[in-house]
Amino acid sequence: MQLSLSSIITSCKHLLLLCSLSALATQANAAVSWETINPNIQFLKQENKLRFYDSNQVLIEGDECALLVDASGNFAAVEKLANDLKKRLKTPLCYLVATHYHDDHLLGMAVMQHFYPDAKLIVHQQVDKNFSVYQKAFSDQLDSYEKSIELSYQRLANIPKEEQPQWRAKLDLAKKRLFRWQEYQLNTPQITINKSRTLNLGGFEITLEPHKAHTNGDLTISTNNGSILIGGDSVDWLPYPGHGELESWQALLKQYINDDKLTLIIPGHGGTLNKSQLKQPLSFLTAMTEHVKNNKEQTIEQLMLSFPEEVMKPYREESLSAKSSNLFLQSGLARAKSTQ
C-alpha cells in the first residue's frame, strides 16, 4: 500500500506529538528501586532503561542526621522522593551532596531544597565557583518544559479526536507541575569541599573527597572504614568522558582497583560494582587517550572506526549499552583530542 506525502507528514507529526506528550507524561512514572546496603545506607537505583541517562541516589542515615547523595534530573521523581523521605527518615535530612555539576545530579536539588530548606547543599569548590551557571541551567530547563507544553497544546489538533481528552489531561497535569517548579530555586551551597572532610551523622561517619576525574569538580564519599565507596559518575562501568580530566581520572580508578579496603562501589549510573569491574572503564579511558595520542592526524570519525574493538566488546553485548557507548566514545575522543 502506497501512502501520499501528506499522509506521511501527518503520521510523522502525530508520532512526534505522541513522543513529546509521552515524555511529559512519564515525568512522574520513572521509579527507582530501594536496595539496602547496610543499616545506614540505602541505594536508590535508577530503573535499568534509564541507567545511562538519569542518576542513582544514595541515602545515608546516622543516629542524628541523614544525607542524600545526588538528585534525579526528573523533577517529578524528586518530588516523589522528597515525600517518601518524610515517611522513611528517622532523623532530619541535614545534608544534600551533589557529586558533580551535571543536570541529572545537581538540578533536582532545587526540589529537595524546597522540601528540606534546612538541609545544607555540599559541592566541590569548583562547582561553587560556577554556581550561577547551574542556577541558569535550572531556569533554562523550566523554560524548555514550558515551551514543550505550549507546543504540545498547539499540536493536539493533529491527534484523533477520541485520543485528545487523555492527552489534554496529561498536559494539564504537566502544566500544574511546571507552575510548582517555577516557584523552586536552586539555592547556593552552604558547604564547599576542596580537601578531604569527614562528617559525623551520629554514630556513623562519612568522608568526602574532592577529585578531578569525570569533571573538574567531582566528589566521592567513603564509609564503613573505607570498604564502601559512593563514587558518582567517576566509577561508572560505562563512563561518560565528554567533560573528563582523563589522565587524573585513570589514576583515580587505578587507586581504587589497588585499594585493599574497598569491597563495594556504588556508581552514579547502573548497579553496584566491585574493584575488578573498574578495570573496564579504566581500559576504555586509557585506550581513548592512547588512541588519540597515537593517531593525531585522524578525524573523530576515523578515530571511531579505528578504535580497538576488544575494548568496546563488553559494551556491545546489550543494545542500550551499545548505543550509549558509541555516543560516549565520540564525546571522549573529542575531549581527548582537545586536550592534546
> pLDDT digits over 6-18, tens only?
332 233 333 333 4
In a domain, 28, yes or no: yes
Final residue before a domain boundary, out of 180, 211, 242: 211
Asked if the model's pLDDT at residue 45 lies above 90, the reply is yes
Do 227 and 138 lie in a common domain?
A: no
151 torsion bin: left (phi>0), alpha (psi -120 to 50), beta (else) = alpha
What is the pTM for the complete model shown? 0.91
Do 49 and 189 lie in a common domain?
A: yes
Asked if the model's pLDDT at residue 270 lies above 80, the reply is yes
CATH number at residue 243: 3.60.15.10
Bridge partners, 93 (sequence order): 66
- What is the 8-class DSSP label of residue 148? H
In a domain, 2, yes or no: no
Do 252 and 199 lie in a common domain?
A: no
Element (H, E) at 172: helix 164-181
User: Of 109, 113, 169, 175, which Cα lies nearest the Cα of 142?
Assistant: 175
Do 236 and 202 lie in a common domain?
A: no
- CA 288 to CA 302: how far, in whole Å? 13
The predicted-structure confidence for 66-83, as pLDDT tens digits, reads as follows 999 999 999 999 999 999
pLDDT band at 340 (very low <50, low <70, confident <90, very high): confident
In a domain, 3, yes or no: no
First to last CA, the chain: 55
SS3 state of residue 166: helix
pLDDT average, residue stretch 220-242: 98
Asked if the model's pLDDT at residue 126 lies above 50, the reply is yes
Domain count of the chain?
A: 2
In a domain, 1, yes or no: no
pLDDT average, residue stretch 247-256: 98
Do 245 and 201 lie in a common domain?
A: no
User: Of 53, 215, 191, 188, which Cα lies nearest the Cα of 110?
Assistant: 188
Do 91 and 161 lie in a common domain?
A: yes
In a domain, 130, yes or no: yes
The percentage of the chain sitting over the pLDDT mark of 90, rounded to a whole number, equals 87
pLDDT band at 120 (very low <50, low <70, confident <90, very high): very high
pLDDT band at 322 (very low <50, low <70, confident <90, very high): very high
Kindly report the number of other CB atoms within 10 A of residue 138's CB atom.
Answer: 21
Do 107 and 44 lie in a common domain?
A: yes
Contacts of 162 (CB under 8 A, 6+ apart): none
In a domain, 303, yes or no: yes
Do 185 and 244 lie in a common domain?
A: no
User: Of 144, 85, 153, 82, which Cα lies nearest the Cα of 115?
Assistant: 82
Asked if residues 306 and 262 have their Cβ atoms less than 8 Å apart, the reply is no
pLDDT average, residue stretch 232-251: 98
The full length of the chain comes to: 340
Do 183 and 220 lie in a common domain?
A: no
The predicted-structure confidence for 140-154, as pLDDT tens digits, reads as follows 999 999 999 999 999
pLDDT band at 30 (very low <50, low <70, confident <90, very high): low
CATH number at residue 62: 3.60.15
Domain that residue 49 falls in: 8-211
- Strand positions, DSSP E, the chain: 33-38, 41-45, 57-61, 66-69, 93-97, 120-124, 191-193, 197-200, 205-211, 218-223, 228-232, 264-267
User: Of 44, 49, 111, 123, which Cα lies nearest the Cα of 82?
Assistant: 111
pLDDT band at 29 (very low <50, low <70, confident <90, very high): low
SS3 state of residue 149: helix
Final residue before a domain boundary, out of 192, 211, 230: 211
Do 227 and 166 lie in a common domain?
A: no
SS3 state of residue 266: strand
Task: Please tell me which residue, 156 or 2, carries the higher pLDDT value.
Answer: 156
Asked if the model's pLDDT at residue 64 lies above 60, the reply is yes
Do 197 and 225 lie in a common domain?
A: no
Do 321 and 197 lie in a common domain?
A: no
Final residue before a domain boundary, out of 169, 187, 211: 211
